[in-house]
């Protein structure tokens, strides 16, 4: 039997099911990662399961999302995370050490292993030959407690790369080309596996950029083979012992093959306000730019910053442009400095920020009103930058630095010959900002500031679900729409009553008070959505906070994978319109009854009748595994875990 790389790793970790596409499977998780925005809650959840120490080979807690300390709350949360990590056997990457995905790639990613992370861009580690999947914090907490991770066996799409990239075209353009072809929904239920002769021309950070952006296509994960290039990366990191070759077998069969000849690609750019709104740079060249940022987990490796520094050598940034750098990690920054390339960036006028997420999640660096911001970030959903009606374009570091010099969107090929980038064969490695857990943490005191509130408790599912549709929404609703981020909101992540006030706040500022009133009357709150409901981040608060407000069911034409899992984990029933045309039959304000919903889940029925008061009935589809049903009946995954 010939296997793909993804099949080989999954097969080795399979604890339930078989590799048959579309069927439920469960896999053993070797490593987990959390970041602070999701991590405080994930750690509270882990603690409430009652296990004395994590059962994974490795769990790492990163602090990268919210590094602003405008009052006591973030500083308190960071201390909480550090102390709970020591208590339960978790490694702790301190604030300022870097973005979780970049640091994990450098210091922990291991070919052939599985990684579950409470961040949607966890697949970045697929660049190092891992199966790395983003999930909600509760799923990660369960994996830390030694439970397997459940998913539907995805299709495996092979992306066959041939040729080599032309000058001024980089890995980011490969990802943009994929987004142009597949759209933000094209990867749903799929693993994207890259193979073919073109793969060897891409370094591990290049592969990580491509794997990272598979998330924007909705893919379960993306994976590259582990080969001599992977070995060179691990050697440069002083981790040769972690290398293991994993190549697809001759004759391995993919469910579908996409061909990309790298030599035919040109510089691409995603226009506002979706990562798949991709056109050639030449089509939008000349538009004036007010801000350029190189950073985020997609594009802030040493190679990306070296490229920017070398292009800027002897040049200055344009007087109308604010040019900003978010280094991916302290290692990147330190090596850049050692090579003598921090100076050209500073000299040219770059604003150097600390290593972390920062502007990518609206934690500062919001662009000016009515102006264009060019970023190497992962996504450009409306308002994510922190500015209403923003105009964020996403591009490669090459396109970004060209605009920083000219003040307008510019095809970098106009800058002449590209610089030669040589990456050292061995990096300066300094792990003094990564704190290993003590052998025995049982005596460690967990430090809880006043911002850490207890987890809410949720009731089991009632026999009939009755309630009101409080919101009707369109297609591609993101987790940012449901539970926004930003500097006002992120510090509330461990305080569910407080953070719940912001649910759907950009769409309906009164939503949380209307929902609480409905809940207090003993009625359920329902939301109706279109296609790809809940796309975007792994933010479990986008399910947890609505559940706290009384949301008991969501009806949509389709759901994004991680959000659907989060809804189930917190006891919100995801129902798909059996006939998408029925979307038009339900309006905000309608009263609905999901009759005998408990019975439907208990008996394994995959449809349910939904009565619309005064408007007849429609059929809902329940696309749920047996385990999903048990969670929903119990009212939440934590309730179910406590029953076990």
DSSP H or E run through 44? helix 36-49
Neighbours of 347 (CB within 10 A): 14
> Among 6, 10, 67, 99, which residue sits at the site for ligand F3S (rule: CB under 6 A)?
99
Q: Give the residue with the Cβ less far from ligand F3S, 297 or 565.
A: 297
List beta partners, residue 288. 408
* Count of residues touching ligand F3S (by CB under 6 A): 11
Q: Give the residue with the Cβ less far from ligand F3S, 357 or 366.
A: 357
Task: For residue 102, state whether it binds ligand F3S (rule: CB under 6 A).
Answer: no
Q: Give the residue with the Cβ less far from ligand F3S, 101 or 564.
A: 101
* DSSP state string for 566-634: HHHHTTPEEEEESSGGGGGG--TT-EEEETTHHHHHHTT-SEEEEEETTS-EEEEE----HHHHHHHHH
Distances (CA, A) of 472 to 559, 587, 610: 15, 6, 16
Q: Site mask, ligand F3S, residues 437-466, x = CB under 6 A?
A: ------------------------------
Contact 188, 36 (CB under 8 A): no
Q: What angle (nearest 5°) sits at the alpha carbon of residue 98, between those of residues 95 and 104?
A: 115
Tokens of 70: 């405008």
Task: For residue 30, state whether it binds ligand F3S (rule: CB under 6 A).
Answer: no
CA dist., res. 211 & res. 123, Å (int):
6
List beta partners, residue 577. 620
Given 537, 538, 558, 636, the catalytic residue: 537
> Among 7, 119, 193, 390, which residue sits at the site for ligand F3S (rule: CB under 6 A)?
119
Catalytic residue status for 459: no
Catalytic residue status for 379: yes
CA dist., res. 211 & res. 436, Å (int):
28
Given 539, 552, 561, 629, the catalytic residue: 539
Cis peptide leading into 273, omega within 30 of 0? yes
CA dist., res. 283 & res. 292, Å (int):
19
Q: Give the residue with the Cβ less far from ligand F3S, 62 or 583.
A: 62
Q: Give the residue with the Cβ less far from ligand F3S, 122 or 636.
A: 122
Q: Site mask, ligand F3S, residues 349-388, x = CB under 6 A?
A: --------x--xx----------------x----------
Q: Site mask, ligand F3S, residues 273-312, x = CB under 6 A?
A: -----------------------xx---------------
Residues with Cβ < 8 Å from 509, sequence gap 6 or more? none
Q: Are strands 607-612 and 551-556 parallel, antiparallel or unpaired?
A: unpaired
Catalytic residue status for 539: yes
Q: Are strands 278-280 and 268-270 parallel, antiparallel or unpaired?
A: antiparallel
Q: Give the residue with the Cβ less far from ligand F3S, 61 or 378.
A: 378
Catalytic residue status for 119: yes
Catalytic residue status for 591: no
Collapsing DSSP to helix, strand or coil, 631 comes out as: helix
DSSP state of 124: G
Q: Site mask, ligand F3S, residues 131-170, x = CB under 6 A?
A: ----------------------------------------
> Among 73, 104, 107, 121, which residue sits at the site for ligand F3S (rule: CB under 6 A)?
121
Task: For residue 65, state whether it binds ligand F3S (rule: CB under 6 A).
Answer: yes
Catalytic residue status for 65: yes
CA dist., res. 577 & res. 584, Å (int):
11
Q: Which residues bind ligand F3S (CB under 6 A)?
A: 65, 99, 101, 119, 121, 296-297, 357, 360-361, 378
Residues assigned a catalytic role: 64-65, 119, 379, 537, 539
């Amino acid at each position: 039997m010939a296997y793909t790389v993804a099949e080989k790793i999954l097969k080795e970790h399979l604890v339930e099911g078989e590799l048959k596409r579309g069927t439920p499977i469960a896999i053993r998780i070797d490593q987990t990662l959390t970041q602070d925005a999701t991590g405080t809650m994930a750690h509270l959840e882990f603690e409430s399961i009652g296990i004395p120490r994590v059962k994974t080979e490795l769990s790492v807690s990163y602090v990268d999302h919210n590094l602003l300390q405008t009052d006591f709350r973030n500083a308190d949360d960071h201390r909480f995370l550090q102390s709970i990590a020591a208590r339960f056997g978790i490694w702790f990457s301190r604030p300022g050490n870097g973005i979780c995905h970049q640091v994990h790639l450098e210091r922990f990613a291991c070919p052939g292993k599985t990684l579950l992370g409470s961040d949607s861009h966890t697949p970045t580690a697929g660049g190092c030959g891992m199966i790395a999947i983003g999930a909600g914090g509760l799923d990660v907490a369960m994996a830390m407690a030694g439970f397997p991770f459940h998913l539907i066996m995805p299709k495996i799409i092979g992306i066959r790369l041939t040729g080599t990239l032309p000058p001024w075209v980089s890995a980011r353009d490969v990802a943009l080309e994929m987004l142009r072809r597949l759209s933000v929904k094209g990867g749903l239920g799929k693993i994207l596996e890259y193979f073919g002769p073109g793969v060897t021309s891409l370094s591990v950070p290049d592969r990580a950029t491509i794997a990272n952006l598979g998330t924007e296509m909705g893919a379960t994960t993306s994976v590259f083979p582990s080969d001599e290039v992977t070995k060179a990366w691990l050697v440069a990191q002083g981790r040769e012992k972690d290398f293991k070759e994993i190549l697809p077998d001759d004759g391995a069969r993919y469910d579908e093959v996409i061909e990309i000849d790298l030599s035919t690609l040109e510089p691409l750019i995603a226009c506002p306000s979706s990562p798949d709104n991709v056109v050639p740079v030449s089509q939008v060249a000349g538009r004036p730019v007010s801000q350029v940022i190189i950073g985020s987990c997609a594009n802030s490796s040493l190679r990306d910053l070296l490229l920017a520094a070398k292009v800027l050598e002897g040049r200055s940034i344009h007087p109308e442009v604010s040019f900003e750098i978010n280094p991916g990690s302290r290692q990147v920054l330190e090596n850049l400095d050692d090579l003598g390339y921090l100076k050209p960036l500073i000299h040219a006028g770059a604003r150097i920020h600390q290593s972390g997420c920062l502007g990518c999640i609206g934690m500062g660096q919001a662009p000016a009103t009515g102006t264009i911001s060019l970023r190497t970030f992962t996504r450009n959903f409306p308002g994510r930058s922190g500015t209403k009606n923003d105009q964020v374009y996403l591009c490669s570091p090459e396109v970004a630095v060209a605009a920083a010099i000219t003040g307008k969107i510019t095809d970098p090929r106009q800058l002449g010959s590209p610089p030669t980038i040589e990456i050292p064969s061995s990096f300066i490695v300094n792990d003094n900002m990564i704190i290993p857990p003590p052998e025995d943490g049982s005596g460690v005191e967990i430090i809880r500031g006043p911002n850490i509130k207890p987890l809410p408790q949720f009731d089991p599912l009632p026999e009939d679900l009755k309630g009101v549709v409080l919101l009707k929404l369109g297609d591609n609703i993101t987790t940012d729409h449901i539970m926004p981020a930003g500097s006002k909101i992120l510090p509330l992540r461990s305080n569910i009553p407080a953070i719940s006030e912001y649910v759907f706040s950009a769409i309906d500022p009164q939503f949380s008070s209307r929902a609480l009133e409905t809940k207090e009357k003993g009625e359920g709150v329902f939301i109706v959505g279109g296609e790809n409901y809940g796309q975007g981040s792994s933010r479990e608060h986008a399910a947890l906070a609505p559940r706290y407000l009384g949301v008991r069911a969501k009806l949509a034409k389709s759901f994004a994978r991680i959000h659907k899992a989060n809804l189930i984990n917190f006891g919100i029933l995801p129902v798909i319109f059996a006939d998408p045309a029925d979307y038009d039959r339900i309006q905000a304000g309608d009263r609905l009854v999901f009759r005998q919903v408990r019975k439907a889940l208990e008996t394994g029925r995959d449809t349910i009748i939904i009565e619309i008061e005064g408007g007849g009935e429609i059929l809902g589809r329940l696309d749920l595994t047996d385990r999903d049903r048990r969670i929903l009946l119990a009212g939440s995954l934590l309730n179910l875990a406590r029953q076990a």
